[in-house]
């Protein structure tokens, strides 16, 4: 999400189909991405991606959601649970 948003200018310039891929048995997958190490806050990137997905209906008609995120809390981005 963040890589494509940087190329396009912002997340507002993206469409859901640009970032969401559907695979085996209809499983939906999105890679949020993040800043270069030491440059920005990965937690902010995850929040930006999740907000984009929510606003564009990625969670509609989904039974389960699984997140694979860094265990890193350097900038505090993962100190609070994702709502």
For the cut 60, the answer to whether the pLDDT of residue 73 exceeds it is no
Q: Domain coordinates of the chain in residue numbers?
A: 1-83
The answer to whether the beta carbons of residues 1 and 20 sit under 8 Å apart is no
CA–CA distance, 37 with 48 (Å, rounded to integer): 17
Q: What angle do CA 19, 66, 6 make, to 5 degrees?
A: 30
DSSP state of 35: P
For the cut 80, the answer to whether the pLDDT of residue 24 exceeds it is yes
Cβ contacts of residue 33 below 8 Å, gap of 6+?
1, 2, 3, 45, 49
Longest dimension (CA), the chain: 38
Kindly state the percentage of the chain with pLDDT values over 90: 36
User: Per-residue confidence at 34, pLDDT binned at 50, 70, 90?
Assistant: confident
Average pLDDT of 38-63?
84
């Amino acid at each position: 999400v963040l890589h494509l948003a940087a190329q396009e200018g912002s997340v507002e310039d993206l469409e859901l189909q640009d970032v969401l891929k559907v695979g085996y048995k209809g499983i939906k997958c999105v890679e949020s991405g993040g800043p270069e190490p030491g440059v920005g806050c990965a937690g902010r990137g995850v929040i930006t991606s999740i907000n984009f997905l929510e606003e564009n209906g990625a969670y509609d008609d989904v039974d389960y959601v699984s997140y694979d995120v860094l265990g890193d809390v350097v900038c505090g981005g993962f100190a609070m649970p994702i709502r």
